[in-house]
Chain A
Amino acid sequence: MELTNENVLGKIISEFGEENIWDAMNPDGIMTITTNRESIHNLIKYLRDDKELQISFLTTMCGIHFPGQGDKEMCMMYQLHSLRHNYRIRIKVFMPASDPVMPTMTDLYATANWMEREAFDFYGFKFIGHPNLTRILNIEEMEYHPMLKQYPLEDQTREDKINTYFGR
């Protein structure tokens, strides 16, 4: 079976139901779907183990922060690849900033270990079941998660650089 966005989406929705899969988009040729954190682990497991799909390579994952978006403030993005069919898919999970908790994928993919530590380090995501959720690139004593948008890169007391002219 050749994988197309339509038939993959159809399969996923028939397996998980429309209430768990929504916002299917195609921004750059890679189908992007949104799901909730109750389904994400099963979804990734299903994509990996299904004989027809074989989407069994975790290319990358990363956190994204959309301040002021309420329940959709924090986002975790997973990108998977079927090497058998050369088909890529992107999955997003949104959650409020007060509760950035996700199930771990380390039991499905060994590579998720450091990727999740990176997401924890930079965005403060907590991965339930992760074997060693500690900071990976920043120092352990750090008290904040630096990629969150409330931490500006430059010193805010500077007056010679106005945001209107020099970046956000």
Chain B
Amino acid sequence: MATENKTAELTELEQFRKDHGLALHEERQLTTLNLGPTHPATHGIFQNILQMDGEVIVDAVPTIGYIHRAFEKIAERRPFYQITPLTDRMNYCSSPINNMGYHMAVEKLLGITVPKRAQYIRVIMMELARISDHLICNSILGVDSGAFTGFLYVMQEREHIYDIYEEVCGARLTTNMGRIGGMERDLSPKALHMIDEFLKRFPKVWAEFEKMLTRNRIFIDRTTDVGAISAERALSYGFTGPNLRAAGVDYDVRVMNPYSSYEDFEFEIPVGAKGDTYDRFLVRNEEVWQSLKIIEQAYKNLPEGSYHADAPHYYLPPKQEVYTSMEALIYHFKIVMGEADIPVGEVYHSVEGGNGELGFYIISDGGRTPYRLHFRRPCFIYYQAYTEMIKGGQLADAILTLSSLNVIAGELDA
């Protein structure tokens, strides 16, 4: 009854204003605010020009491309094996996934089957990369909502993951790990020991980190219903990975199109319900546990055998053989000079990257370089939904939405 009165009153008021030619509302004073390009909370270089009505975001115009490095163009001039270092500069929080995804795409083109041991080593490294990726995203989310401690605490563990990378391939951030056809070396006893130590130590750390945030009243209030997206919109926007799963769609490339022996492992795909920041946080948290489970299984059941495929035309021979045997020298020369025979073909291969389906589309015309190499970069594809997700929300929420989406500038711009 009361509401009816109120509407009647309003319409009267509206009528009055209409009769006297008065504007219905005061003209809104919009403020333009630059979020980025070098804002500490964007965690990368990209700009959002926000139109603010007080604290409320009315519109946002994202500008990207600040660190565009033309990888697709450069790749058209490089032999296949020289493209790996380009891929690890895309999502630099989980470089091994990019490297190995690219290797698998080329192996599909060449028709190489990689032995089980190499596949398991890849799985271990890729899941470690996923942990380090999710760990950064979730702890940064803590930082942006005011909890710095957890970030520094888990950052130590990322250092340990990087130590493992260093032992396996010699590099820490831009790893260039593995080769087309397998790994460049076997896991050393020290690396195995380090993985073992990591498996023992990390669950405690992660449980503590979770304890700090998951049921934290302040954190829950800050993140629930912030930057929510429905499953339909997420699918229309091409979301993949944890962000899509938080919206309730259980699409995971590891399960749907298993690669590198993922079908051998028992693990679960966590899904959220609302697709808001809190759900994305929970999904990533749980994925870290599932990744640990996968690493544990792969570590325990690591098969014997070779760590690389028997493909001398594409896989570099051991250095000592290059000095002593003619065939090895020829293969070495041909591979290094990019003269390996690449079949004509067209291939798409996707892996579950840290942020979703990371796809590699290669067209080869039989030349020394790919004719066309297209990267399906999950960040680039889902970041365009950002405007829609933050409209009508507050500025502080937009920051949280951004960090929970885990937008990595390198992958965004390629």
**Residues of chain A having any CB pair with chain B under 8 Å:** 27-28, 30, 32, 56-60, 62, 64-65, 77, 79, 83, 86, 88, 90, 109-111, 113-115, 118, 122, 135-139, 146-147, 153-154, 165, 167-168
- Is B77 within 8 A of A167, CB to CB? yes
Closest B residue to A62 by beta carbon equals B374
How far does the Cβ of A1 sit from chain B's closest Cβ, in whole Å? 18
Report the bound CA distance from A57 to B257 in whole Å. Answer: 15
- Is A59 within 8 A of B376, CB to CB? yes
Q: Which of B368, B383, B384, B413 contacts A167 (CB 8 A)?
A: B368
How far does the Cβ of A78 sit from chain B's closest Cβ, in whole Å? 11
By a CB distance below 8 angstroms, the chain B residues around A83 are: 235, 249, 251, 256
Number of A-B contacts (CB under 8 A): 98
Closest B residue to A108 by beta carbon equals B236
**Residues of chain B having any CB pair with chain A under 8 Å:** 64-65, 68, 70, 72-74, 76-79, 108-109, 233, 235-238, 249, 251, 256-257, 337-338, 345-350, 357, 359, 361, 363, 367-369, 372, 374, 376, 380-385, 413-414
- Is B384 within 8 A of A111, CB to CB? yes
How far does the Cβ of A125 sit from chain B's closest Cβ, in whole Å? 14
How far does the Cβ of A74 sit from chain B's closest Cβ, in whole Å? 12
Known A83-B249, A86-B256, A147-B73; judge A137-B347 contact (CB<8 A). Answer: no
By a CB distance below 8 angstroms, the chain B residues around A138 are: 65, 68
By a CB distance below 8 angstroms, the chain B residues around A65 are: 372
Known A28-B345, A146-B73; judge A60-B64 contact (CB<8 A). Answer: no
Most buried by B among A58, A83, A111, A147: A111
- Is A111 within 8 A of B237, CB to CB? yes
- Is A110 within 8 A of B64, CB to CB? no
By a CB distance below 8 angstroms, the chain B residues around A165 are: 337
Q: Which of A27, A59, A62, A167 contacts B238 (CB 8 A)?
A: A59
- Is B68 within 8 A of A79, CB to CB? no
Closest A residue to B377 by beta carbon equals A60
Report the bound CA distance from A58 to B109 in whole Å. Answer: 23
- Is A56 within 8 A of B361, CB to CB? no
Known A86-B256, A114-B380; judge A109-B238 contact (CB<8 A). Answer: yes
By a CB distance below 8 angstroms, the chain A residues around B376 are: 59-60
Report the bound CA distance from A146 to B77 in whole Å. Answer: 14
Report the bound CA distance from A111 to B369 in whole Å. Answer: 30
- Is B249 within 8 A of A28, CB to CB? no
Query: What are the 3 closest A-B residue pairs judged by CB atoms, nearest first?
Result: A111-B238, A137-B65, A60-B376
Report the bound CA distance from A59 to B376 in whole Å. Answer: 8
Known A60-B361, A110-B384, A114-B380; judge A153-B347 contact (CB<8 A). Answer: no
Report the bound CA distance from A147 to B71 in whole Å. Answer: 11
Closest A residue to B75 by beta carbon equals A153
Most buried by A among B347, B361, B368, B413: B361
- Is A167 within 8 A of B338, CB to CB? yes
By a CB distance below 8 angstroms, the chain A residues around B363 are: 64
20 pairs of residues in contact across A and B, judged by CB atoms under 8 Å: A27-B345, A28-B347, A28-B349, A57-B238, A58-B238, A83-B256, A86-B256, A88-B348, A109-B236, A110-B237, A111-B384, A114-B384, A137-B65, A139-B65, A146-B70, A147-B72, A167-B77, A167-B368, A168-B76, A168-B77
Most buried by B among A88, A136, A154: A136
- Is B346 within 8 A of A27, CB to CB? yes
- Is A111 within 8 A of B381, CB to CB? yes
- Is A28 within 8 A of B348, CB to CB? yes
Closest B residue to A115 by beta carbon equals B381
By a CB distance below 8 angstroms, the chain A residues around B236 are: 109-111
Closest B residue to A66 by beta carbon equals B371
How far does the Cβ of A85 sit from chain B's closest Cβ, in whole Å? 10
Closest B residue to A65 by beta carbon equals B372
Report the bound CA distance from A28 to B347 in whole Å. Answer: 5
By a CB distance below 8 angstroms, the chain A residues around B251 are: 83
How far does the Cβ of B345 sit from chain A's closest Cβ, in whole Å? 6
How far does the Cβ of A38 sit from chain B's closest Cβ, in whole Å? 24
- Known A64-B363, A86-B257, A167-B79; further 10 A-B contacts with Cβ < 8 A: A27-B346, A28-B347, A32-B346, A59-B238, A60-B381, A109-B236, A111-B382, A139-B65, A153-B73, A167-B338
By a CB distance below 8 angstroms, the chain B residues around A77 are: 361, 374
Report the bound CA distance from A138 to B414 in whole Å. Answer: 11
- Is B361 within 8 A of A62, CB to CB? yes
Report the bound CA distance from A135 to B64 in whole Å. Answer: 10
Report the bound CA distance from A83 to B349 in whole Å. Answer: 16
Known A86-B256, A115-B381; judge A60-B374 contact (CB<8 A). Answer: yes
